[in-house]
Amino acid sequence: MLRGKIYGLIIAVLLTASVTSAERELKADSSEDQSIEALQKRVTQNPKDLELRYALGIAYNEQAMNDDEAALDQAIKIFQDIVKEDPNSVKAKAMLGSCTVMKAQHVSIFKKLDYVEDGYTILDQVVADKPNDPDLRLIRGVNAARSPGFLGRSDVAETDFEWLLADLKKTDNHYDDNYRRTIYFYVGDWFLEQRDSRCVELLMKASKTPGAPRLTDDIKKSLKKAKKRFPSTYAALEKE
């Protein structure tokens, strides 16, 4: 059924979902320079450091979101090499899946669906292998939430986001404030798009939780929309 909608994949450009943005936010409080140039220099000095190479892949993937296919190809190669050297690097696998989906915007219309399906397969497999890994849930959840509706990933987004919210409530979780803020925003923003009033509470929490400044403007914009869409819910929560 999905293959029958191949021509609709012209909007695969929308699949440059901010998966990388979510991953970047979780690292945004790093005091070290995360630019491509700085990371490349450090990788050259420490070529066996897979964490450094992963960070470089994230930086290239971020650059790729500016419609830079060369940067995307660099990110794909980096994540492929990491997975080849360390098959247990599940975050690298997840980002490879994300990159594969993003690659769909740069290939012919007759190949777009193959890249999208391959990327989804990778993302679904890593979560199936490690269903209790919040990083993987967040990466896949944001990817699914930002995918066009006809691709049928809404249920995936809901599953991952509900899992993250449930995990946040556990007393033994290891989320720091920046991680919580990131989850509150991305889940709240998706609830807003789904016209789910729970978005108000989550976006309020995101606005009140300390964290890296990169999401601040987006949180304010989404909270303003939520207030307009659910005024009574907003008013009730504001009084608490």
Residue pLDDT, tens place only, 48-70: 999 999 999 989 988 888 889 99
Stretch (H or E) spanning 48:
none
pTM equals 0.80
Q: Where are the domains of the chain?
A: 3-148, 175-240
Residue pLDDT, tens place only, 74-97: 999 999 999 999 999 999 999 999
Under the banding of pLDDT at 50, 70 and 90, the label for residue 21 is: low
The crossing angle, in degrees rounded to 10, of helices 177-193 and 216-229 is: 40
Which pair of tokens denotes residue 89?
A: 């690097």
Backbone angles phi, psi at 181, to 5 degrees: -60, -40
Class of domain 3-148: mainly alpha
166 CA to centre of own chain: 18
